[in-house]
Structure 1
């Protein structure tokens, strides 16, 4: 094959549907990052099950992408099991599990933290992830054709001071359980990875900014602009839900077939370097 033919073949591969025939389950899929990922998966040929507690939003989205919706409180193992069973009943397989559901939880001093609130957050943000890994792994192992499990962590798991204590704890723990699961499940051809967004203007982040800035009508574009100016090495470029969705698509697809136990950070470089270096004079001349 000559060089031009090789390039054309690669271009055709990249432009083709990347998840054709695969079945994906997305928790927290009714809005935000989950919804953007569901739409992108569907455009790439996947059959998508959306699992959430936001029934109206989730069902409407599922109908729009010819998918399925199931009410699912990830803190309840029985709900997650039922969501996986729906995928198996519908299409007979589960190839992709995107454990995305999460909540922000309480703020406040570590000296005043309320353990009942902490435990509620952990039941969703951490136990929900474990439920998803467990039941997806069972289905994937039984089928014997591998699979991709992806878990949503956060830049707060990498850099302290970006979120409250309980949220930070839960998101860092996700990195640990994903790597540990990858050690075992690799023997079955199952990859386990994380994606860690930063500054994405979802309802969770918007709520925080509205409270902090005292602006009840603050919109996503305003938050994205703030992040682009103060929380990104890419000056003026803030994050979008689609940025994260494309990262998840990569981890879900065969293009990342040799990647496991990895945390793909989608942060505009924020956690890797000072956003506005006081040493910028080094770059002059």
Structure 2
């Protein structure tokens, strides 16, 4: 929790401190994951932080989103087509683009439907 959540909170805080004086606008993207149970609490905390800061920073035109790629283990990889490392990159590019200008407070899960 100390590293995962505090790191994300400080990253968002300091990004906003730069973005707001410049007139706002822009996008902050955090990374979480669909991970083993040991990380579940901290990953859900980052999703909550994303939603809360999206509300707080929305008045400045700053969008805040997160991306949660599945953490692949050998057994899971055998059962499904593993997503390419670029899938998280493409999700980040979309969320940072003008096409996603109305998307904020969203956690984009990239797990090929495995967690549903």
Q: In the alignment, which residue of structure 1 is the partner of 2:9?
A: 130
- Structure 1, unmatched stretches of 5+, are 1-121, 157-161, 201-208, 210-222, 273-285
Find the counterpart in structure 2 of residue 174 from structure 1.
46
Over the aligned positions, Cα root-mean-square deviation in angstroms equals 1.5
Deviations 1:125-162 (A, max 9, x none): 01000000001011111101411011111124xxxxx3
Task: Report the counterpart of residue 34 of structure 2 in structure 1.
Answer: 155
What is the TM-score normalised by the length of structure 1? Answer: 0.39
Whether 2:78 is the aligned partner of 1:229: answer yes
Superposition map of 1:206-245 within 5 A: 223=74, 226-230=75-79, 232=80, 237-245=81-89
CA distance in 2, matches of 1:180, 1:240: 30
Contiguous gaps of at least 5 residues in structure 2: none
Question: Deviating runs (4+, > 4 A) in structure 1?
Answer: none
- The whole-number CA distance in structure 1 between the counterparts of 2:47 and 2:5 is 10
More contact order relative to length (CA 8 Å, sep ≥ 6): 2
Q: Distance in 2 between matches of 1:252 and 1:199?
A: 23
TM-score, structure 2 normalization: 0.91
Return the alpha-carbon distance in structure 2 between the equivalents of residues 189 and 146 of structure 1: 4
**Which of structures 1 and 2 has the bigger CA Rg?**
1
CA contact (8 A) 2:20 2:60 kept: yes
Q: How does 1:20-59 map to 2 (within 5 A)?
A: none
